[in-house]
Amino acid sequence: MNDNQLLRYSRQIMLPQIDMEGQQKLLAANLLIIGAGGLGSPAAIYLVAAGVGSMTIYDDDEVDLSNLQRQIAHHTNDIGTDKVISIRQTLGRLNPEVKVRAVKQRLANEQLESEVSQADVVLDCSDNFPTRFAINRACVKFQTPLVSGAAIRFEGQVAVFTPGKNNSPCYNCLYNSEGDEQLNCATNGVIAPLTGIIGSIQALEALKLIIDIGETLTGRLLLLDALGMEWNTMKLRKNPHCPTCGGQ
């Protein structure tokens, strides 16, 4: 670690749970973020600020005026630009030392498996069930930790899945494969700060996984009712008959 890094990350390094060793783990980490929107924006911003070594972001969309209410990595002059270009520029201005690879593509099939197999942690910041189930299958296959987040209307949730460790359930244990495709921000709306709250928690859980500190949300589903400002936690158990992880 050079002098600039010691100063940049000094407020983290002074935490006894992190120290120099933990920061070195972050600098060596490779993260995969799927989605550069409402959740992916704050998650990527905080992870880059915290000093992860490298990050790959996939998104196949362009910046639209309606995105700017909550997708804080993008700005008014980015309208019409690929989200991956916009977010890469934002992250580069924040911390040019982090290697950010941004790909305009819907990540699926063999490419999804290849990326998941190379990642230390995967953050699911997507907004549709088919993608979420595909990400989960790949993470189970390669036993890659998965941090899943969702936000809609005034409701948010975060869960962590660590396949092969701590008897962790998987996303398919929580939801069956018949999810409602109409449950997204485009059709139901979302309050702006909610995506920031959930995306930030995803970033925090990813950092804890990389450094191996504290207790993650493995085996728990964290729920936020933003209107009542109430947090609730549900315990999740592994489903022995789960079509994705039941045989493991």
Catalytic residues: 185
Q: For the chain, give the longest Cα–Cα distance.
A: 52
Pairing outcome for strands 121-124 and 30-34: parallel
**45, 94 in Cβ contact below 8 A?**
yes
Alpha-carbon dihedral sign for residues 21, 54, 135, 138 = negative
Q: Would you state the structure tokens that stand for residue 196, as one six-digit string? A: 């920031």
Specify the residue for token string 């859980």.
Answer: 205
* Closest listed residue to residue 105, CA positions, set 127, 121, 82: 82
Compute the distance between CA of residue 76 and CA of residue 97 in angstroms, rounded to an integer.
25
Specify the residue for token string 């060793």.
Answer: 21
Q: Would you state the structure tokens that stand for residue 30, as one six-digit string? A: 């490779």
What is the end-to-end Cα distance of the chain in Å, rounded?
A: 40
Compute the distance between CA of residue 161 and CA of residue 136 in angstroms, rounded to an integer.
9
* Closest listed residue to residue 148, CA positions, set 136, 140, 164: 136
Strand arrangement of the beta sheet that strand 30-34 belongs to: 99-103, 54-58, 30-34, 121-124, 146-152, 155-161, 220-225, 230-235
